[in-house]
Amino acid sequence: MSVLRNLESRIAGLVEGTFGRVFKTEVRPVELAHKLAKEMDEHRTVSVSRTYVPNEYVVWLSPKDRARYDGVEHEVADELSAYLLEHARRERVSLVSTPVIEFRTDDALRLGEFGIQARLVRPAQAAGEAPVRPAVPGGDAPVGGSTSAPVEQGDHGHTMVYSTAARVQGPLREERAAAAAVRPPRAFVLAEGKRMPVPAEGAVIGRSRECDIVLADANISRRHAELRWTGGPPSPGWTINDMGSTNGVRVNGRPITAATAVAGGDRIELGTVPIGFEVER
């Protein structure tokens, strides 16, 4: 089993093992790990000979989610830091220091939502100290050939907002403004024994980890179908569309070839996999 897989298993163990009782909430450490890695990948800085990635991350949680991490934040942060370090080595990108993860609370977030800020920071260097050298793939400690830290300290970027369905929908303030303008009724997908919320901005369903709603069944394509809310006149509502899947999409027994309206209680099939769809009134 790879080192990265071992790290994933250890993070999952925080949920199912010693600290399992703490995380009876939708924001789980494994989900944070995957989204932190995504932020790392999307904020690369290319220099003359290296590609650098952020080394400081702020994870924003709702007050209720933050409270459930009380007493285990340091353990979770250490595991997440190790996960990011191994991810950087696998992707062959450079870090100027070991990744640092800090938890903070945002009252604007709801239970099950979280935000991530990432930045690239040059560690402080006291007078007379040897230059700080970047952490690079394949080494056990920060090493490298540069004679000084290659990047300047930067401000935190926009907060990327995620839900437990793994969506990335943009900066926190912009997402809040859009959600306040037109908020659809809450919808849920029932599949594989789980009841999963559909983000207000819609959701891609498939086997890929990058999907908003991830299903494991082999009959599901990597990006199988998309649920989307159409808020404008004349008839706002939810629609589902086949994204070029192998086994197709059916609504109430009929194959679809274009975006098709769906309502709570409709029978949806992704290939041979039955999917329940609920809408709260």
Q: Which of 27-41, 131-145, 239-253 has the highest mean pLDDT?
A: 239-253
Predicted confidence at residue 157, as pLDDT, reads: 52
CA 227 to chain centre: 18
Report the chain's C-alpha Rg in angstroms. 21
3-state helix, strand, coil in the chain (%, to 5): 20, 30, 50
Phi, psi of 185 (to 5 degrees): -65, 145
As a whole number, mean pLDDT of residues 170-178 equals 47
Distance CA 124, CA 42 (A): 25
pLDDT band at 162 (very low <50, low <70, confident <90, very high): low
CA 216 to chain centre: 17
Predicted confidence at residue 185, as pLDDT, reads: 84
Phi, psi of 14 (to 5 degrees): -65, -30
CA triplet 240, 242, 243: central angle to 5 degrees? 120
Predicted confidence at residue 165, as pLDDT, reads: 40
Predicted TM-score (pTM) of the model is: 0.47
Q: Considering only 16-30, 49-63, 166-180, 224-238, which range has the smallest mean pLDDT?
A: 166-180
- 197-215 tens-digit pLDDT: 988 878 999 999 888 899 9
